[in-house]
Structure 1
Amino acid sequence: MFEQADAVLLARIQFAFTVSFHFIFPAFSIGLASYLAVLEALWLKTGRDVYLTLFKYWLKIFALAFGMGVVSGIVMSYQFGTNWSVFSDKAGPVIGPLMAYEVMTAFFLEAGFLGVMLFGMNRVGRGLHFVATLAVAVGTFISAFWILSANSWMQTPAGFSINDVGQFVPESWLEIIFNPSFPYRLAHTVLAAYLTTALVVGAVGAWHLLRDRANEGARVMFSMAMGLVMVAAPIQIFAGDMHGLNTLEHQPAKVMAMEGHFQSHRDGAPLILFGIPDQERATVDYEISIPKASSLILKHDLNAPLDGLETVDRADWPYVPIVFWSFRIMVGLGFLMLALGGLGLLARLRGTLHQWRPLHRFALVMGPSGFVAVIAGWVTTEVGRQPFTVYGLLRTAQSASPLDAPAVAASLLAFILVYFIVFGAGTIYILKLMGKPPQITGPAGDMEDDAQPPVRAAGITPASSVSPGRAIGGQHGTHEGGPRR
């Protein structure tokens, strides 16, 4: 029994490691695909060479990020069969078709047009090439749609029945796809991807402005990125609030863990800003809180009562310290993004957007924050769902394959070693590309020649832009995860 518990824990760690590593790439490529479409549209409309230069500059980086997302998604998806075969058997009638829908729509769209996007501008004409770029951008969104639908169903299952052998059997696909948490999760995750991309683009622009504030490409990319952060950050905070209210309705124990509420509060619950949760003693030590603010946020009433984890069977508690702190990391970074957007607006109004060096340094420091925030959000969602894989119905301990702990440990160590070598090298090369300033070269120039080196480094060719394994894991893992593109 103890060895089986160890095997389940190791399987969870392995899935968490591979998903976390994978998720940073689609979180970037979803937004970057749309950014490329915007750049090409602006070039076609205005004829300004700077937009074409930036398109080619970021296309190389997109090719690498997309390729690494594909490869990491394939490896991740195999774990459904190796480490989580019981989950696959019981939830397969629901999860399997949702994955198949992703393949039949997003995968075919991306695979069909990615080669044209990367290699076809001088072969198919500007209009058709723009259509291909749009198709890839739409494909990344559709992929996120299906993967998040599958993950959301695991969080808020609906539209199913359970047959005699314990399998979840579809009854209403509309209810399964558009389950109660899906709209909120989709909006929150896609906005996070756009913010992640904007912060990276803004950081790269800031890096080059600090060295040459006259660089036109750096000025344009920084201006566009700060504009998106200014708009998307407050919308994301609102979307996150709505998502939290939905979670309170359908997964109250998760919200209790996020808030650090071990005890119930009948006359208004405090908002705990900081503290050290103690799972065993069910207390938060060194608590710093705002009286009744949690009730105001979650119920829009200062005196509204809120239940604590004491009302939940202790066997059904998530691990509070992780959920508590990952939630605060995500929210804290969200407000820093809001501050960056506000300062960007102030600089724009003052006419100092490209001269204000403290803003550039702030943007540079915030470059990786989107990745940290999406991983923190995924951890909050998935650890907060524990101890279930299908919330309230299928426990994680009952979902794992009958594996011995040493076998899972060996594969985990292999994953860690290979991931850090392979994807570390890819990430270093991406940073090297970002370190080169964009140079306006005019409309001439073969895009295929520009695109080939990084594309080949990512393992992508026009004939095989996406591996068949992408059909399982997708490029986008589950925002959130669970045993996920």
Structure 2
Amino acid sequence: MSTSMSALDLARVQFAFSVTFHIVFPALTIGLASFLAVLEGLWLKTRNATYLQLFDFWVKIFAIAFGMGVVSGVVMSYQFGTNWSGFSNFAGPVTGPLLTYEVLTAFFLEAGFLGIMLFGRQKVGERAHFVATLMVAVGTLISTFWILASNSWMQTPQGYEIVDHRVVPVDWFKVIFNPSFPYRLAHMAIAAFICGSLVVAATGAWHLLKGRRDPAVRKMFTMGLGLLLVLAPVQALVGDAHGLNTREHQPAKIAAIEGLWETERGGTSLNLFGWPDMEAETTHYALKVPHLGSLILTHTWDGEIKGLKSFPREDRPNSTIVFWSFRIMVGLGLLMIAAGIAGFVLRRRGRLFDARWFHRLMVAMGPAGFVSLLAGWVTTEAGRQPWVVYGVMRTADAVSPLSAQQVSVSLALFVAVYFAVFGSGVYFLVRVLLAGPGTHPPEGGGVGDQTRTPSLDNRRAARG
């Protein structure tokens, strides 16, 4: 690893690298946990063995992703003490308790019921097992709540005072429910559900291409597409509200996202494409649409958006990065909306399971949710720079007093270990996905016939 980069740059690269690996697995488990609860609930309601067959398949995927998410998450916590001790010392009184609440509520809830969900079907009744699955799903959402509360406070901090160069919380309600939190929580939760729906739909599409037409494959394909049809447009609306909130609280981020340098009076154009140049303070090859920026960002014809030149150079995010990361996210989002609509039209015409071109598209779309999620994360975090706590603490002040050589060695180790460990995990995960659910549903139609123990059978017989 080259030491021409500073310790700060290398620490940021290391954190970005580890987060990139970590964020994928919780996003998948959040989506799949709720999907598993829906599948088991539908089985209990309808006794259709196909739902149980799908549950038994997708719970394996959930378990693999959950395990890798826990391992990668533990590493994330250590980095705050190793590479970012300045941040931990300054903001720890706020971020520390929030992450502790996540462990005490979400992680304990998930850990407590995960074993029952994965291995307890022969030990508990059907409804008790369903409750365990629900609790795991709820736990993933509670975890999302606390993690987003902590990260959102770093984006739009409030409810604190600074005493002896440290943040001291004075109003926990304001700390948690900071101005960007509701929008970012909704945006992230929906993104996780979309990631799950695309993986489910892509898996179904793969097996359709391989010639399988059994009910399990057809059902998961339609369920994944149905969720995508509903959530992709909703995500666009939530993203719009999030953008309005960002414009109010982080105007420099909006200017960087749009590659906007001058404050345009009487209506702001939208740069569809271009190449922002931080040194020349211009966006080269810009394809502009007059007034569209005002319509999208202010919902008015002549709304005014501050350009990057309105902010000191040292306070500007890197427009080159966030301009394109944002467009990747939005472009994939529009493609998801189109895919959901196309699936709906094909289903209405009775061609959903025969349109091979659409199946190929959905297989290709399988990773799109994760790519869009990561692009959104880059937009959010790079757009916050040069602040680690927006307007309060600069990223340069948050890094530990380490040399570039020290950080480069740990980064090289991270890269080697992560690709070995998580590369193997992802390979195994894909193998399971490509194998697909069993070709036959459980005999007898489900949990009651397949997994009851003699003691449960005897108790039920005694009750008549």
So what's the TM-score if we normalise by structure 2? 0.94
CA distance in 2, matches of 1:218, 1:426: 24
Q: Secondary structure at the match of 2:6?
A: helix
- Residues 63-83 of structure 1, C-alpha deviation per residue, up to 9 Å, x if partnerless? 000000000111111000000
The 1:314/1:323 distance shift into structure 2, 3 A limit, reads same
Partner of 1:152: 152
State how far apart, in whole Å, the 2-side matches of 1:45 and 1:55 are: 14
SS of the aligned residue for 1:121 comes to coil
Query: Which residue of structure 1 lines up, in the alignment, with residue 227 of structure 2?
Result: 228
Structure 1 residues 96, 334: CA separation in 2 closer, same or farther (over 3 Å shift)?
Answer: same
Aligned partner letter, 1:354 = F
Residues 114 and 136 in structure 2, CA contact (< 8 A), matched pair in contact too: yes
Identity of aligned residues (%): 57
Structure-to-structure mapping, 1:229-378, within 5 angstroms = 229-378=228-377
CA contact (8 A) 1:205 1:218 kept: yes
Q: Residues 49 and 440 of structure 1 are in contact (CA less than 8 Å); yes or no, is this contact kept in structure 2? A: no
Consecutive unaligned residues of structure 1, counting only runs of 5 or more, are: 451-485
> Per the alignment, in what secondary structure is the counterpart of residue 239 of structure 1?
helix
Shift of 1:292: 1.2
- Whole-angstrom CA distance in 2 between matches of 1:244 and 1:215: 43
Query: 3-state SS of the aligned residue for 1:112?
Result: helix
Moved over 2 A (4+): 443-447
**1:20-66 Cα deviation digits (max 9, x unpaired):** 11101011110000001001111111111111111010111110000
Q: Secondary structure at the match of 1:161?
A: strand
Give how far 1:174 is off.
0.5
Paired position in structure 2 for 1:397? 396
1:126 aligned onto 2:126: yes
Deviations 1:141-188 (A, max 9, x none): 00000000000000000101110x211101111000000000000000
Structure of larger gyration radius: 2
Counterpart residue type for residue 371 of structure 2: V
Q: Which amino acid aligns with 1:403?
A: L
**Distance in structure 2 (CA, Å) of the matches to 1:404 and 1:215:** 59
RMSD of aligned Cα (Å): 1.6
Deviation for aligned residue 1:96:
0.8
The letter for the 2-side match of 1:112 is G
Secondary structure of residue in 2 paired with 1:272: strand
CA shift, 1:446, in A, is 11
1:309 maps to a residue whose letter is L
2-structure distance, mates of 1:351, 1:446: 29
Aligned length: 446
Q: TM-score, normalised by structure 1?
A: 0.90
- Amino acid aligned to 1:299: T
Cα deviation, 1:385-432, whole Å, max 9, x if unaligned, reads 000100001000000110011010000000001101110011011110
Deviation at 1:362, TM superposition (A): 1.2
CA contact (8 A) 1:14 1:412 kept: yes
Unaligned runs of 5+ residues in structure 2 are 451-464
Matched residue of 1:16: which SS? helix
Q: Which amino acid aligns with 2:195?
A: T
Output the CA distance in 1 between the equivalents of 2:444 and 2:155: 51
The answer for the alignment partner of 1:78 in structure 2 is 78
Point out the more displaced range, 260-269 or 388-397: 260-269
1:202/1:222 contact within 8 Å kept: yes
- Kindly state the Cα deviation for residue 444 of structure 1 after the two structures are TM-superposed: 6.1
Q: Which amino acid aligns with 2:162?
A: I
Give the distance between the partners of 1:274 and 1:151, measured in 2 at CA.
Answer: 29
The reply on whether 1:107 has 2:120 as its aligned counterpart is no
Residue of structure 2 equivalent to 1:54: 54
Displacement of 1:441 in angstroms is: 3.2
